[in-house]
């Protein structure tokens, strides 16, 4: 059986792909949309794919970089947060708005569907999760279910998006990763794109807290 995995190199998608690694021949795709962290995301994605035996492709989306005013791919500073800000919905929504890339997951998933049809893959694996769905609607269960309904209408083959973390918070994702032997130590979550995780952007802070709450060793190297 074949699968397409949308792999940014991050913690969530690393764990998600690892859940299906035993049962599927996985072709991972990584997107370059001009994000500051692309080089580190690519390094992480390649390392994960080499470790797990996945086929890997990179897809350049220069047009998405051109139309996006997200702090992820402009010269604007990426917000830094405190640990207590993570559960403050008002502050988290402001951060989410700052890093939002127009229709990113919609675009990525549509392209993944093209790849799935081309190789006869049965599933598309994504790292969407409950914790981030609170501020990113394209991580939500409703978004997942809607896209799967779309595939039933719009694809000539049976394709289903699989999001094993859709009901999980970050600490639960870390625990799941440990259960499936996901190479989480190879993943990269930082928005800023430093060689080491910055440790202060929201993505880094959620990663830090996830490992701490899970009670598992965090092998990530942080600047702060």
Is 8 annotated in some ligand binding site?
yes
The two structure tokens encoding residue 12: 């969530």
Tally Cβ neighbours within 10 Å of residue 122.
Answer: 15
The two structure tokens encoding residue 187: 């993943």
Is 210 annotated in some ligand binding site?
no
The answer to whether the CB of 197 falls within 8 A of the CB of 207 is yes
Is 3 annotated in some ligand binding site?
no
Is 204 annotated in some ligand binding site?
yes
Is 92 annotated in some ligand binding site?
no
Is 49 annotated in some ligand binding site?
no
Is 14 annotated in some ligand binding site?
yes
3-class DSSP state of 160: strand
Closest CA to 219 of 194, 192, 190, 187: 187
CA distance 200 to 193: 12
In 105-219, at which residue ranges do the beta strands (DSSP E only) sit?
123-125, 160-162
Is 53 annotated in some ligand binding site?
no
Which residues fall in the annotated binding site for Zn(2+)? Answer: 190, 198, 201, 204
Query: Could you tell me which residues are annotated as the binding site?
Result: 7-17, 190, 198, 201, 204
Mark the binding-site residues for ATP, compressed into ranges: 7-17
């Amino acid at each position: 059986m074949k699968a397409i995995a949308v792999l940014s190199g991050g913690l969530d998608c690393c764990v998600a792909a690892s859940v299906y690694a035993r049962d599927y021949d996985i072709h991972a795709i990584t997107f370059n949309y001009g994000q500051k962290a692309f080089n580190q995301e690519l390094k992480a994605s390649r390392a994960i794919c080499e470790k797990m035996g996945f086929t890997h492709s990179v897809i350049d989306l220069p047009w998405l970089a051109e139309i996006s005013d997200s702090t992820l791919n402009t010269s604007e500073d990426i917000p830094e947060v405190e640990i207590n800000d993570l559960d403050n919905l008002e502050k988290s929504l402001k951060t989410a708005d700052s890093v939002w890339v127009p229709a990113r997951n919609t675009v990525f998933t549509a392209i993944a569907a093209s790849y799935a049809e081309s190789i006869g893959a049965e599933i598309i694996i994504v790292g969407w999760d409950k914790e981030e769905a609170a501020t990113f609607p394209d991580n939500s269960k409703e978004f997942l279910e809607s896209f799967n309904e779309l595939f039933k209408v719009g694809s000539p083959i049976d394709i289903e998006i699989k999001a094993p973390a859709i009901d999980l918070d970050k600490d639960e994702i870390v625990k799941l990763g440990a259960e499936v032997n996901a190479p989480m130590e190879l993943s990269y979550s930082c928005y800023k794109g430093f060689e080491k995780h910055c440790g202060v952007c929201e993505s880094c802070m959620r990663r830090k807290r996830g490992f701490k709450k899970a009670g598992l060793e965090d092998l990530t190297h942080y600047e702060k």
